[in-house]
Amino acid sequence: MNQNSGEILEMTRFPSPNPLVELKVITYFSNGLRVKGMLAEPIGEGTFDGFLYLRGGIKNVGKVRPARIAQFAAEGFIVFAPFYRGNQGGEGNEDFGGDDREDAFSAFLLLKSLQRVRDIHIFGFSRGGVMALLTGLHYPEAVSVVTWGGVSDMSLTYMERKDLRKMMKRVIGGTPAKYPERYQDRTPLFQLEKLEAPVLIIHGVNDHNVSVEHAYRLERRLRALEKPVDCWYFDEFTHYFPPAVNRKVVQDLSNWMKKQSKRW
């Protein structure tokens, strides 16, 4: 990783949907590239835990939503969400859990450099689940890792999502059968021995975007390694939860994260 990774280069105010939360678009260094992301901070004095928000999707699918990160900031976190390389004016090309993991690693360093940030938690949604676990492995000082509807096995994603196969072959360079090592490199299941942080798994059992099998495989592996893990499975929901339930889960997972800080 470049020694300047995580350094803030530019900062621009962005209209906030919440009067108690300030938003900024940040340009920062990630392994030599100028990458962009969004910072959400509670207005007022004091220190807060950091919250690294790792989005799902690729390119324009699954873009960072200001209202979403403001929602977590309103729970008492300083939130940073990288857009990933090649998006929204950033340099480079996003590659679905490959070199773009450096954007998450550098974002962790960015949060760490902020004076108001105490402990740092990592959150990943959908494809961001892989990014969250990889970042937790890279930074053992992370206090917790949450994966919501998260991918844990990239080969399984290729098998399940026929609509993504063309993109995955292009970005990863081939199929799991032809290049198994490239898919394994993007699959944190094979590296969990090194994970220090407790993990919370949230998943809708009827999820057709990222099947609940991803959550089950992650849970089984963590339990086999005797790692701390909590699981919240929702039998009736898919990849997206109803708004009222979503708000409740956001509050509950925020409280779960804060408890990990106290235990650390």
pLDDT in tens, the chain (264 residues): 777 999 999 999 999 999 999 999 999 999 999 999 999 999 999 999 999 999 998 888 889 999 999 999 999 999 999 999 999 999 999 998 999 999 999 999 999 999 999 999 999 999 999 999 999 999 999 999 999 999 999 999 999 999 999 999 999 999 999 999 999 999 999 899 999 999 999 999 999 999 999 999 999 999 999 999 999 999 999 999 999 999 999 999 999 999 998 765
Q: Which of 16, 30, 106, 126 is catalytic?
A: 126
Distance CA 132, CA 200 (A): 11
Q: Which residues pair with 124 in a beta bridge?
A: 54, 147
pLDDT for the residue numbered 60:
83
Handedness of CA 247, 82, 66, 25 (dihedral sign): positive
pLDDT for the residue numbered 121:
98
Domain ranges of the chain: 8-258
Pairing of strands 21-30, 8-14: antiparallel
Distance CA 149, CA 218 (A): 12
Q: How many CB atoms lie within 10 A of CB 125?
A: 24
Instruction: Tell me which architecture the domain covering 8-258 has in CATH.
Output: 3-Layer(aba) Sandwich (3.40)
The DSSP H or E segment spanning 260 is helix 243-263
Encoding tokens for residue 181?
Answer: 């090592």
3-class DSSP state of 96:
coil
Distance CA 140, CA 118 (A): 15
pLDDT for the residue numbered 61:
86
Q: Which residues pair with 48 in a beta bridge?
A: 117
The rounded radius of gyration (Å) of the Cα atoms in the chain is 17
Residue 239 annotated in active site: yes
pLDDT for the residue numbered 202:
98
pLDDT for the residue numbered 1:
72
Which residue blocks in 82-179 are alpha helix, DSSP H?
101-113, 128-138, 154-160, 165-172
Distance CA 253, CA 115 (A): 24
Q: Are 78 and 116 in contact (CB under 8 A)?
A: yes
Residue 261 annotated in active site: no
The DSSP H or E segment spanning 70 is helix 66-73
